Amino acid sequence: MSCANYNILIKEPNTMTISPNDSFQFNSMFTDKRRRIKIPLPPVMDARKEVIGDVNKDRRYAIDAAIVQIMKTQKVLGHQQLVTECVEQLRHMFKPDIKAIKNGIEDLITRDYLKREEENKNIFRYVA
């Protein structure tokens, strides 16, 4: 860029070849009314998607941990009480989605941490 037609970068020493010891600086005095130069930005979307995925994964773990902790102390609890206590416990970290809590409960049932009562399917029992 410093050796091209536009002096966007200033190179020290001012030679035509580039060596590892050369230093470059942005030319803040650069102006050209006839041309518009676009400098591409580095891709940020991939990193953003990765961060969002990591945050969602951490939230799922936090929801599972809260459900297990609540059920360990209560042993038997209804669905609505469990969801309410889970929201209350997690509200200082993030606002948990009710659907995510329900998915967490179902996941813990499949992993044998919780089981549904036979008589009333809205009541969960902690499996020690």
Q: What is the mean pLDDT of residues 97-113?
A: 94
pTM score of the predicted model: 0.64
Q: Is residue 5 very low, low, confident or very high in pLDDT (cuts 50, 70, 90)?
A: low
Span 73-93, pLDDT tens digits: 999 999 999 999 999 999 999
The bridge status of strand 76-78 relative to strand 123-126 is antiparallel
Task: From residue 121, give the alpha-carbon distance in Å to each of 2, 14, 19, 92, 125.
Answer: 72, 79, 73, 30, 10
The domain made up of 45-126 is a member of CATH 1.10.10.10: yes
Spatial neighbors of 123 by CB under 8 A, at least 6 apart, are: 76, 77, 78, 79, 116, 117
Query: Tokens 């470059």 sit at which residue?
Result: 24
Q: Where in the chain is the domain with CATH 1.10.10.10?
A: 45-126
